[in-house]
A and B are shown apart, each in its own frame.
Chain A
């Protein structure tokens, strides 16, 4: 039962991304061709509001419901892994038209072939884990 709220947050997120057409391959194509403001409006407003929220959390030293301070661990420093990993992710994002969240949401929308994409993404993650030490980070 302690997980029920995460199920509800997930449902809300799934409905939101479906209704805003974020899970549409076409919308991702349109974004990567700069032909509509829609996706930029969504990501931009989420980030601007997110910045405000995180500033408030930091200044007021807000705590989570279990009483621990809310901290966001800084990502480790580096450039290669972010630019190379990001580039590879971007290739996949534009091909599938979906990042990891929408992969699941599309299956819920009845586009069941995305089960294969999720399996392929899992295999991709596994492959990264196996060859991690050979890659520049």
Chain B
């Protein structure tokens, strides 16, 4: 039980992710979470006026069930298996503290950026709302997210997925190296 309550090392998590991808393939499905966002648009009726959402989303129902599992899995882990804090590198903690984040790593996420109380502040809107919008827009534009391109696509040695992953990093590094110090100062 000791193991379950400790944070899991990379060599446990990585193989488990590959195992889940393999299980989905054996079940005749493809690993890709961002498809659910498209399904949700279709379920809400977007297919009536937009061709892109006029597809057989019911064939993707299994994936919505998978997403429901994610919520339940997150709840189980946080209730019974969680330490609650994040074991960050010293460098990261110092850097974020320097940028005004209080106690980096003490919780899963920085509450000053992600909470209902701060949602309607400029920072809240940038991190919670704009960030989410870009995730959904970019994933569909690129035709996949971390699971579809990063894990499945790269595993299948697909060049488009490699290009997409390079794009993911160019975007991510733009935030952490160029923009974040300014955004956190707003």
Contact = CB atoms under 8 A, between A and B. Distances in A.
A106 B109 contact: yes
Contacts of B160: 75-78, 82
Interface in A75-120: 75-79, 81-101, 103-114, 116-120
Contact of A111 (B82, B114, B161, B171): B114
B74 interface: yes
Contacts of B138: 85-92, 124
A109 B75 contact: yes
A28 B174 CA distance: 13
A74 B177 CA distance: 33
B102 interface: no
Given A18-B74, A90-B172, A106-B74, A99 B69 contact: no
Contact of B91 (A35, A42, A68): A35
B150 to A, nearest CB: 6
A128 B14 contact: no
B75 A108 contact: yes
B131 interface: yes
B143 A32 contact: no
A98 B172 CA distance: 11
Interface residues of B, number: 122
Contacts of B158: 74-75
B136 A86 contact: no
B85 to A, nearest CB: 9
A68 to B, nearest CB: 6
Nearest to B91: A35
Contacts of B33: 99-101, 104
A39 to B, nearest CB: 8
Interface in B112-148: 113-116, 119, 126-147
A94 B172 contact: yes
A112 B149 CA distance: 27
A125 to B, nearest CB: 4
Given A45-B14, A89-B145, A109-B78, A26 B69 contact: no
Given A7-B66, A24-B108, A92-B171, 10 more contacts: A13-B20, A24-B86, A26-B104, A31-B172, A50-B18, A50-B151, A53-B25, A54-B155, A124-B135, A124-B136
11 contacts: A6-B63, A15-B73, A21-B7, A81-B143, A85-B143, A88-B171, A89-B138, A99-B135, A108-B70, A122-B37, A125-B140
Interface of B: 4, 7-18, 20-30, 33-34, 36-38, 40-41, 46, 50, 52-53, 61-63, 65-78, 81-82, 86-89, 91-92, 95-96, 104-105, 108-110, 113-116, 119, 126-147, 149-158, 160-161, 163-177, 180
**7 closest residue pairs by CB, A with B:** A10-B69, A86-B167, A14-B73, A90-B171, A108-B74, A50-B155, A89-B138
